[in-house]
Structures are given as structure tokens and as C-alpha cells.
Amino acid sequence: MDTELKGKVVIVTGGNKGIGEGISRSFAAEGAIVVAFGRNREEGETFCEALRSEGAQAAFRLAELTRESEVVAAVSQTLEEFGRIDVLVNNAGVNDGVDLTAGVEAFRGSLEKNLTQCYALVHHCLDALKASRGNIVNIGSKVAETGQGGTSGYAASKGGLNALTREWALDLAGDGIRVNCVIPAEVMTPLYERWIARQSDPEGDLKAICDSIPLEKRMTTIEEIGDSVVFVASPKSSHTTGQILYVDGGYTHFDRRCTTD
């Protein structure tokens, strides 16, 4: 299938590792120009250099996304080099464990890291997205739907991102800009691998998690998330907007009594 993304300029925040890496690689495979935004120059440059060595077009922009001035600079640099922005993927974020005991300042900080930075980036990319009649894909979390416990800031942020997906889709429909949200659940990323390794029974805990995923009893791969984002962002989804798509093997919405012994 030709996704018609060749030569399109795609910003992916946190685009050089984990789910972001999968998203960046999927866009690169379709011939898009990937611009990864991140806060670790060495890691970001190394990743983009690897993509270029594979024949892709890729660039890294250093930005701490909670600092608006750095967001402005990274967007400006992208426009200076490539002249346009066609797709914005709000992927960067962290399940930081800011719970009810953490206090108001910690909660505000979690919102800055996981929600406010998404608003800032869309705000500063808006003119370019209007010019290209581009689209936005937000990366959410099952936590907004299911809760998790012990992560008030992240849950509130991802719930807010779902709401902004629908708000922006309505707000920007007149400009031809589509806005959708892709929701991962249990995805095997390097961060997840490190987390499961710290558990008292890593092998048993991982099996229990996989057994609760209805489709094939396995984790979702970063490639599956990336390919879903690419499809939603492509003209092949040209009349899809304001949607929240769960790419999770059925994990989020099925009764656990039907999926576990």
C-alpha cells in the first residue's frame, strides 16, 4: 500500500527510543522525512545517523519540551531546513509515578511533562500545519481509561490528551487538519524490560501480563504501534479525525474474567 507519505516532514517527539523509535522507523520506511525531537543529543544524533545510513531522511532537534523557548527553537530550525511540517506526533512523556502523596507542585510538574508540552508544540506548529493541511497524532495510554494506581499526574495528563484530541479535531477541521490518538497498553520497550527485570518474579509477572492480553497472549510491539500511527497519519485515513484508537491486542476493554484463568 502506498501511504503517500514520501517527502512529508514528520516531527516525532521522543522519536529516537522506545515507542518513538518504532514510530520514526515506520515513517522512514514510507519515505517520510523524520525529525526526532528529544533532550539527549548524543542518543538522538546517533539514532538519526543510523536511519540515514539505511537510506532514510532523518534529523534530530535538541529540545527539553517543558521549556517553551526550546520548543520554539526546534520548530523554527525544522522549518528553516525543510520548509514545512506535515505531521506532528506527540509521543514524548513519562509515567512518573506522581501520586496523591507527591503534592501539588509535583502534580503540576507531571502535567508539564506529559500534557502542557503537547499543547505548546501544537501551538507553535499550528501555522505550518495549516499551510500543509497536515495532521496530528497524539500517543496516549490505557491508564486514562483503566487507571493504574499511584500515578495521578500521568493519568490526568493522558486523560487530558484524549480530550484535546477531540477538541483539536473539532477546532481544526475547518483548516483540513486531522487529529487522532493512538493508545498503547502493554508494549515491550527497553524501559518496560528494565521495569519487569526489577520485579520479584520477572518471568512469572511477564507471563501473567501476557496471559491477560486477549489477542495471542503477547505484548504489542513498537513496530505495531508505529505502523498504526503511520496509517492514521496517512492520506489512506483521510476522513478519520477525533478518533481514539486502541492498539493493544484487546487488553483495555475486555472483561478480565474472560481473558485469564
Instruction: Give the span between the Cα atoms of 33 and 87, in whole angstroms.
Output: 10
Q: Tell me whether residue 154 is one of the annotated catalytic residues.
A: yes
By the 8 A CB rule, do 47 and 62 touch? Answer: no
Q: Which of 119, 154, 192, 246 is catalytic?
A: 154
The edge-to-edge listing of strands for the beta sheet with 244-247 is: 57-62, 33-38, 9-13, 87-90, 135-139, 178-184, 244-247
CA atoms of 216 and 211, how far apart (whole Å) = 9
What is 129-144 written as a DSSP string? HHHHT-EEEEE--THH
Check: CB of residue 23 under 8 Å from CB of residue 92. Answer: no
- Enumerate residues 6+ apart whose C-beta is below 8 A from 80: none
N- to C-terminal Cα separation, the chain:
40
Residues in the chain: 261
Q: Which of 143, 135, 149 is nearest to 243 (CA)?
A: 135
Q: Residues with catalytic annotation?
A: 154
